[in-house]
Amino acid sequence: MSEGFREGDFSVTPWEAKGKIDYDKLIQEFGVEKLGEELLSRIERIAGGLHPLLRRNFFFAHRDLNLVLNDYEEGRGFFLYTGRAPSNSPMHIAHIVPFIATRWFQEKFGANVYIQIPDEEKFLAKKVETLEEIEKYAVQDILNIIALGFDENKTFIFRDTEYISKLYKPAVLVARHINFSTARAVFGFDNESTIGLIFYPALQIVPTFFEKKRPLIPCGIDQDPYFRLQRDIAPRLNRYKAAEVLSKLVWGLKGPETKMSASEPDTAILLSDPPETVKRKIINAYTGGRATVEEQRRLGGVPEVCTVFHWYSVLFEDDDKKLLERYHACRTGKLLCGECKAELVERINSFLERHRARVKDAEKKMHLYLYDGKLAQEMWNWEYRP
């Protein structure tokens, strides 16, 4: 079992994505299945529609999603699992994509959602100096997640440092099945890795055993190696292998071959960015525009390589017809980058303004997701039973 894929300048592993990503190649190399027309139509029929992220093939691959739908249609149901490791910087816009998809699946399929907040991981990885630094961002991240609209009675958000007494026993059972050479290959550990970090993958697998149903994990394709390990171990613990619905990676502001990174703020829009910062970042974003207005009018732009167009298509234009109109206006030189960017700035800022209002609201009901909602209460009484 290996950590991901590397070939020439192109590499995708859980901790790094570089170069121009060939997603068809990843499907082959990772051994996942393409999320094709047939499966999408089946989801559409059951859910009564498709989220743009699915419809536009941003979620493009899967493992066992057909089995998840069988479970649903045959009344066994499934549950959703995702997570977020808090660091010492705020979440950025790409971080919310898997949560948007998770929330959509919850809404359409009425499934329980478990959200792990591994508030020790970045400390153990020595990316953050103190646990106290993480504390502030852990709370902020939880509020940002709640603000995306999860059902308070069907969602349980838990922090590892707080919920560890429930996680430890199953983690021990999992840990016995992972030897160091596999962990090193999958997670890229080396001689400098702390021993805490080496145990951490066991804790990440445990939530896939929270229910005796099939777990579905919406995540970026780069995270797939983690769950391959789960799929290897689950049958030995008499549990379901995790199903996954896998997305492409959101481009960073520097262009199609870049990723957003909170530690390099100019590559990403942070959820905490004020309007003028959003404006500055988008104005400086990489586009498919021409060097001069005259050239743009004459030759048209290239939306296929344009970060601005990418962001419209992933998050900021739900209407397919309007997206297509923008594509043609760009291609034929009717639309200039200045205008196109200004509109995106407006959309991002209005999204962030609404989001921050929902974060304020989330402060009042955070206790429901962590302790007092229906699912949270059940989970504080949960005991792992083989």
List residues near ligand SF4 by CB under 6 A: 287-289, 301, 303, 306, 308-309, 330, 335, 337, 340-341
Query: Parallel, antiparallel, or unpaired: how do β-strands 10-13 and 16-18 relate?
Result: antiparallel
| Distance in Å, CB of 168 to ligand SF4, minimum | 50
Query: Taking the alpha carbons of 13, 241, 314, 266 in that order, is the dihedral positive or negative?
Result: negative
Q: Is 225 exposed, middle or buried (0-12, 13-18, 19+ CB in 10 A)?
A: buried
CB-nearer residue toward ligand SF4: 144 or 296: 296
CB-nearer residue toward ligand SF4: 32 or 306: 306
| Distance in Å, CB of 303 to ligand SF4, minimum | 4
CB-nearer residue toward ligand SF4: 269 or 337: 337
Nearest Cα to Cα of residue 77 among 206, 243, 235: 243
CB-nearer residue toward ligand SF4: 98 or 288: 288
| Distance in Å, CB of 324 to ligand SF4, minimum | 12
Direct distance between the N- and C-terminal alpha carbons of the chain, in angstroms, rounded to an integer: 26
| Distance in Å, CB of 287 to ligand SF4, minimum | 4
CB-nearer residue toward ligand SF4: 112 or 307: 307
| Distance in Å, CB of 93 to ligand SF4, minimum | 17
| Distance in Å, CB of 23 to ligand SF4, minimum | 21
| Distance in Å, CB of 346 to ligand SF4, minimum | 14
| Distance in Å, CB of 272 to ligand SF4, minimum | 25
Q: Is 346 exposed, middle or buried (0-12, 13-18, 19+ CB in 10 A)?
A: middle
CB-nearer residue toward ligand SF4: 83 or 288: 288
Instruction: Give the DSSP per-residue string, 228-287.
Output: HHHHHHGGGGT-PPPEEEEE-PPEETTEEEEE--TTSGGGS-BTT--HHHHHHHHHTS--
Residue 345 DSSP SS3: helix
Phi–psi pair at 47, nearest 5 degrees: -85, -10
Greatest extent of the chain over all pairs of C-alpha atoms, in Å: 69
Cα gap 157→136, rounded to integer Å:
16
Q: How many residues does the chain have?
A: 386
CB-nearer residue toward ligand SF4: 201 or 289: 289
- Cα 158 to Cα 96, 99, 163, 204: the distances in Å are 17, 15, 6, 12
CB-nearer residue toward ligand SF4: 84 or 341: 341
Cα gap 218→315, rounded to integer Å:
16
- Cα 209 to Cα 43, 53, 203, 386: the distances in Å are 24, 27, 11, 9
CB-nearer residue toward ligand SF4: 105 or 311: 311
| Distance in Å, CB of 352 to ligand SF4, minimum | 20
